[in-house]
Structure 1
């Protein structure tokens, strides 16, 4: 997914500093561990309350845990900072669109969770403006190769 993110920014120099991982399950934890080397600041959003072993793992890796019950995805930029890279690992369909709101200008969101069918309303005009006026991108990815681990 990170390779796809960089490829989507190949038209200009992209030097991301901040990352947000959505989900603190096994894929989210693995992602936090790998992104820690590539980003100055890594955050991981989950809905678990303290005490929880996954929160301890996240923080032991040097990342910041964000409780989604207190700070939902659209509020992350105001509470922390707009993110250069967002890695969605939940399969929660609204996160695909909320990712756009959490991105900094020139940011990239990578969608890896696979949701079930789910209908809900989205302000398409607002999202379209965010993509165009702030040069944001979304990529979808599945099936990493051996070399990614």
Structure 2
């Protein structure tokens, strides 16, 4: 093997090792998926509250997202953006579309129809869907990094 072939093989091996480390870091504990599900479920449930409290709750949920990012960085040394290109992007945008539709339904039912318990029920469903979606996202990322999910 020539020097350039050896260098290329070493570079490829280093890249695969780096991908394996990323995949290992992305192996989140169930509590991390649960945290994401809880934040999304609570967000969809906020229209059950009076408007002022909705705004306060949404601000608190933004703070929770910051805490999850911080948790990821402490646990793994990094935060992997959900909007990154690759196999995870379709999952991210599908989640976004579904959760946005559920949030809008929640707002409509509470504000327009006066069914104030509906956002709580929709939020519960959203929490379960978000938990599952977080697991799907993780699996897709790990497969992309060359590790079986």
Q: Answer whether TM exceeds 0.5 for this pair.
A: no
* Structure with greater strand share of residues: 1
TM-score range, shorter chain: under 0.3
More helix by share: 2
Larger Rg: 2
